[in-house]
Structure 1
Amino acid sequence: MTHPNSHSVSVAGVIIDDQGRALLTQRRDNDHWEAPGGVLELNEDITTGLLREVEEETGLQVEPVALTGVYKNMTRGIVALVFRCKVVGGHITETDEARAFRWVTADEVRALATEAFAVRVLDAMHDDHGPAVRQHDGARVIESETPM
């Protein structure tokens, strides 16, 4: 049974390499380029879910470095916690969920990903601010009525 006021929580890992590039995955279900991640399981803690989702989608083991943003899809009621991560093991491997991978610069992120997903990666690529708090409609960022 779905409750009209319920939300789900997802996690994503923006993996940054030594050259400052981010890893994007091309999803098999919709061909979109995004950071690896997914919905937390009900009894799963945030870090465990992040590590599981990233490894399931990329074959990489990562270590979260910092929470870089909290994002809400206002249309679907999904709250996403996004973390900057570094690789600590594994190898990039095609999966049931990801068909391709690219290490990208900020300009390439803007060209490949939709605005709502690009902003997550771009926020994670910049070290100079605390976690961003943003909302979107699934494609475009929506400005907050109350500035933070």
Structure 2
Amino acid sequence: MQHQDTHSVSVAGVIIDDQGRALLTQRRDNGHWEAPGGVLELSEDITTGLLREVQEETGLQVEPIALTGVYKNMQRGIVALVFRCRSVGGQLTETDETRAFRWVNADEVRALASEAFAVRVLDAMNPDHPPAVRQHDGERLLSA
């Protein structure tokens, strides 16, 4: 199998507060607003990777509540597993990867994030919705 035929797996944690708002982070490298997360390391399990990535990008310790979606970037071959989480400790801290944070409602998510990343957060904000399976091109959703 050639390298360009492989996938990368990433995880993201949509942290929901007591008011139903989600935490978005602003990335230092491109200024985009997204849920905290990143690529799983080869030797780590999914939950360990999720907890590590969220803490590295936010300073928060979280508890995963539910898998809320599986998303594939068709251009880059990245499969993302997204989880609704709640904060259980730590303190929001800017890092080498994040330069700002915002607790946002659904309308603010739509205004700040590109469609491909906003839908992950919106899916996670809806506790009655079964896990979504979606494809995108890095910016826009693609039909199945």
Q: TM-score, normalised by structure 2?
A: 0.98
CA-CA distance at 1:12 after TM superposition? 0.1
SS at match of 2:129: coil
Q: Report the AA paired with residue 117 of structure 1.
A: F
Which residue of 1 is the match for residue 5 of structure 2?
Answer: 5
Q: Report the AA paired with residue 105 of structure 2.
A: T
SS at match of 1:109: helix
**Structure 1 residue ranges (4+ consecutive) displaced by more than 4 angstroms after TM superposition:** none
Which residue of 1 is the match for residue 44 of structure 2?
Answer: 44
Inter-partner Cα distance in structure 2 for 1:27 and 1:41: 20
SS at match of 1:4: helix
> Any residues of structure 2 matched to 1:1-148 within 5 Å, and which?
3-144=3-144
CA-CA distance at 1:2 after TM superposition? 5.8
Give the CA RMSD over aligned residues. Answer: 1.0
Q: Note the residue ranges of structure 1 that are not aligned, 5 or more in a row.
A: none
CA-CA distance at 1:4 after TM superposition? 2.2
CA-CA distance at 1:129 after TM superposition? 1.7
Q: 1:53 to 1:2 in 2, by over 3 A?
A: farther
CA-CA distance at 1:111 after TM superposition? 0.1
Q: Report the AA paired with residue 76 of structure 1.
A: R
Q: CA offsets per residue over residues 92-118 of structure 1, 9 Å max, x none?
A: 000000000000000000000000000
Count of aligned positions: 144
Q: CA offsets per residue over residues 26-57 of structure 1, 9 Å max, x none?
A: 00000000000000000110000000000000
Q: Note the residue ranges of structure 2 that are not aligned, 5 or more in a row.
A: none
